Amino acid sequence: MPSRAMLAPAPATLPIVSSLAPAPLDRTTRVFPPLAAAGAGAGFSLFITLSVCFCKFSRKRPPPPAGDDSTSPRRQPPREFSYSTLRRATASFSPVNRLGQGGFGVVFRGTFSGGKNVAVKVMDSESLQGEGEFQNELFFAAKLDSPRVVPVIGFSHDRKRRRLLLVYQLMDNGNLQDALLHRRCPELMDWNRRFMVAVNIAEGIEHLHSLEPPVIHGDIKPSNVLLDKLFSAKIADFGLARLKLDQVEITVAPERDGGGEKAEDYGSAVEEAESVMTAATGCEDFNFGSVDHPPESVARVPGSVTASPETGVAPLASPETTATVISVSPEMGESEKEGGNMITRKGKESESKDWWWKQESNVDRGKVKDYVMQWIGSEVKKQRVPSSIDWNEAMAATASSSSSSKKLEKKSSKRLDWWLSLEEENEKKKKTKRRMVREWWKDEYRRELSKKKKKQKKKKKTLESDFCSDDGSSSVSQWRRGGNSKGSSIDWWLDGLSGERWSRARGNSHDSVSGEIGKSCGISSTPSMRGTVCYAAPEYCNVDSNNVSEKCDVYSYGVLLLVLVSGRRPLEMTGSASEIQRANLMSWARKLARRGKLVDLVDTKLQNVNQEQAVLCIKVALQCLQRLPVSRPSMKEVLLMLNGEVSLPELPTEFSPSPPLKTVRKQRR
């Protein structure tokens, strides 16, 4: 037990010396007084040094890292990093730190001075997908908050080098494609772990679909699933993601001779209404809650709108109705209060479109981007902002900063000019590249076909029937016959394949790194312009289709589930005749289902296989792979099935084991 004297505070003047100083009656000190004094001095100076170090360290310690799930209950909004910070973190984008390559550009590992590890995606100016992905990623990053989604920590851009950068939380075990099929991580050779990965992914997709409005990922595939330290899976890459929007009817009154200002008003009203139509319903949650908006920039938009030239604005829902809240930056449009409702009016230099509702299929992409650029220029704060905003405070802040806002505007418009010029240039490049890719792939494919024709006519037929059989996703024969079915046209093939072919031609796809493609001709991960071959649902392949729904993700999940269980790519051609009927994983699974031999599909290298669970996974996958989107289960149902909480519905008849021949044959008399 310590004595009272020891616990009592030491005299203020010599705190340490007194505690370290020898007691007057100590013999040793009497014998060695110089030694004791030296010891005390050394101790004192050591203490001083340590306390100075401690003070420095505690002052310099960085704030809790953004995106760290363990420390923050809600993810921080993406923040802007300076280019030099990211350059330093990645050792000047050293090849040593290269993690992978996608259609967007190269991804590097980075470490901030505080020790936080990140992944930095760099969009090179040559990128085919870059800008769209960049916009989408930022938008969804601001909104999505789930442990099953890879968090985007921030972004940056470098004017000089014309680069856009995105910063993600580092996923230590890379992407699933690589871990499962290339590196063959021992951890993934255990059934339980693999099953957990399947459940994690289902949870992630279910989360996206459960949002209001639902988010459709649009490119679910193993290379877009990343694995953290503990091999739990998170969904990444929202470059092709979109919001599912309900159709909203718009009635526009017949055009009138208004001229002058009225006509202009009318024009803006129509545009306004169009933007509302794309916004559709129930999206109140998507207002960048974490981004600082002044209160006057909030527009309330009802679910259904009738634009009228008389009013010049879209009539709005009553305050009682659940209204959609759209945040618009001050530069984007002037807002005005009218009849108790907030409305948005078009300013001269700026339009008030809600860029982030616009998806590539139904709007002029150029215009969409203007808004992104404006947003980037004005709305994303360098400093993080609290997730809930006090509008009164925000208003006061806006008033006090009116003088600085002009400077900001100038800065923003400079940025915007730069972005626009970049965009124009990239658009041209994209077109040329797409044409080149198509031509290249056409030639390549024709060459391959004619070779095969010469070699083996019989085999060719089997191959065709395998490809075109029951999954409907591939259309070699249609192409050959010159069929122009919209459902799975040559365009889709070209689009789907060109990405990977292109990047492989350049020799920089992460698939090509392993060299496995060369051996097996497997096609598994295709950085693509619209979905990924083999993973894209048949209806998703239809360029003109408006059928894109959550069920597209369900289909892709079905393919991914088969890949997980079988430990192979969805399309693998080894060339040998016996392998041809297995070439297409989906067709093979269906065939095995008909034969009642689903177990044959399970990866033979797996350990601790729970066969019942594995077969359940294949059956769930087959449910997901049904051609009609309505027949496919929802992701919620998929999760329940995987967890054994609901029983599996009957497999579609075409997958049921064939009835014995006796019962089928008609008895002849």
Ligand X SMILES: Nc1ncnc2c1ncn2[C@@H]1O[C@H](COP(=O)(O)OP(=O)(O)OP(=O)(O)O)[C@@H](O)[C@H]1O
Tell me which residues are annotated as active site.
219
**Does 459 count as an annotated binding residue?**
no
Contact 258, 153 (CB under 8 A): no
Nearer to ligand X, 217 or 590 (CB): 217
Give the separation between CA 306 and CA 301, rounded to whole angstroms. Answer: 11
Closer residue to ligand X, CB minimum distance, 101 or 327: 101
- How far apart are the C-alpha atoms of 337 and 342, rounded to whole Å? 5
Minimum CB–partner distance for residue 128 and ligand X (Å): 9
Among residues 93, 104, 356, 419, the one that binds ligand X under rule CB under 6 A: 104
Among residue numbers 465 through 524, which ones bind ligand X (CB under 6 A)? 510
Joined together, the tokens standing for residue 400 give: 């006090």
Residue of 536, 545, 546, 547 whose CA lies nearest to 474: 536
Q: What is the number of the residue whose Cβ is closest to ligand X? A: 102
Number of residues that bind ligand X (CB under 6 A): 27
The reply to whether 549 sits near ligand X by the rule CB under 6 A is no
Q: Which stretch binds ligand X (CB under 6 A): 4-12, 98-106, 199-207, 260-268?
A: 98-106
Name which position in 224, 281, 524, 587 contacts ligand X (CB under 6 A).
224
The residues in 115-174 that bind ligand X, with binding defined as CB under 6 A, are 119, 121, 150, 168-171, 174
Minimum Å gap between C-beta 556 and ligand X is 12
Strands ordered across the beta sheet of 105-111: 79-80, 152-158, 163-169, 117-123, 105-111, 98-101
Pair 44, 16: CB distance under 8 Å: yes
Stretch 314-333: interaction string toward ligand X, x if CB under 6 A: --------------------
CA 527 to chain centre: 13
- Give the nearest distance from C-beta 232 to ligand X in angstroms: 13
3-class SS at 565? Answer: helix
For residues 191 and 238, which CB has a smaller minimum distance to ligand X in the complex?
238
Lookup: tokens for 80: 């802007």
For the record, the structure tokens of 616 come out as 């359940």
Q: Please, are residues 298 and 335 in contact by the beta-carbon 8 Å criterion?
A: yes
Question: SS3 string of 224-285?
Answer: HEEECCCCCEEECCCCCCEECCCCCCECCCCCCCCCHHHHHHHHHHHHHHHHHHHHCCCCCC
Counting contacts by CB under 6 A, is residue 102 touching ligand X?
A: yes
**DSSP per position, 82-144:** -HHHHHHHTTTT-GGGEEEE-SSEEEEEEE-TTS-EEEEEEE-TT-SSHHHHHHHHHHHHHH-
Nearer to ligand X, 236 or 561 (CB): 236
Among 78, 218, 289, 527, binds ligand X (CB under 6 A): 527
Give CA–CA dist 123/161, Å, rounded: 11
Instruction: Name which of 167 and 328 has its Cβ closer to ligand X.
Output: 167
> Are 78 and 384 in contact, with CB atoms under 8 Å apart?
no
Report whether 119 contacts 110 (CB < 8 A).
Answer: yes
* Phi/psi at 106 (5° precision): -90, 145
**Nearer CB in complex with ligand X: 99/180:** 99
Closest CB to ligand X among residues 499, 567: 499
Pick from 131, 203, 206, 237: which binds ligand X (CB under 6 A)?
A: 237
Q: How far is the CB of 281 from ligand X (least distance, A)?
A: 30
Q: Kindly tell me which residue out of 226, 291, 305, 606 binds ligand X, with binding defined by CB under 6 A.
A: 226
Reading the block at residue 31, the tokens are 């014998």
Give the integer Cα–Cα distance in Å for 49 and 122: 43
Exactly one of 67, 78, 103, 289 binds ligand X (CB under 6 A); that residue is 103
Smaller CB separation from ligand X, 239 or 309: 239
Residue 299 CA to residue 323 CA, distance in Å, equals 9
- Residue 535: name the closest of 223, 101, 129, 236 by CA: 223
Helix (H) or strand (E) holding 328, with range, is none
Subset of 174-213 contacting ligand X (CB under 6 A):
174-175, 178
Least distance from C-beta 226 to ligand X, angstroms? 5
Q: Is residue 617 close enough to count as binding ligand X by CB under 6 A?
A: no
Q: Is the Cβ–Cβ distance between 293 and 394 less than 8 Å? A: yes
- Segment lying near ligand X (by CB under 6 A), choices 192-200, 218-226, 323-331, 573-581: 218-226
Give the residue with the Cβ less far from ligand X, 2 or 115.
115
Smallest gap, in angstroms, from Cβ of residue 180 to ligand X?
12
In the chain, what's the furthest Cα-to-Cα distance? 127
State the amino acid at position 581 in one-letter form: Q
Q: Which residues contact 481 (CB under 8 A, 6 or more apart)?
A: none
Burial class from Cβ neighbours inside 10 Å (0-12, 13-18, 19+) for residue 476 reads middle
Residue among 225 and 585 whose Cβ is closer to ligand X: 225
CB of 368 to ligand X, least distance (A): 20
Interacting residue with ligand X among 89, 107, 314, 625 (CB under 6 A): 107
Closest approach, Cβ 133 to ligand X, in A, equals 7
Instruction: Return d(Cα 282, Cα 279) in angstroms, integer.
Output: 9
CB of 150 to ligand X, least distance (A): 5
CB atoms within 10 A of CB 631: 13
Q: Among residue numbers 23 through 82, which ones bind ligand X (CB under 6 A)?
A: none
- Considering only the stretches 97-105, 331-339, 341-349, 404-412, report the one whose residues sit in contact with ligand X under the rule CB under 6 A: 97-105
Shortest distance in whole angstroms from residue 442 CB to ligand X = 21
Which residues fall in the annotated binding site? 121
Binding site as annotated, residues for ATP: 121
* Binding positions for ligand X, rule: CB under 6 A: 99-104, 107, 119, 121, 150, 168-171, 174-175, 178, 219, 223-224, 226, 236-237, 239, 510, 525, 527
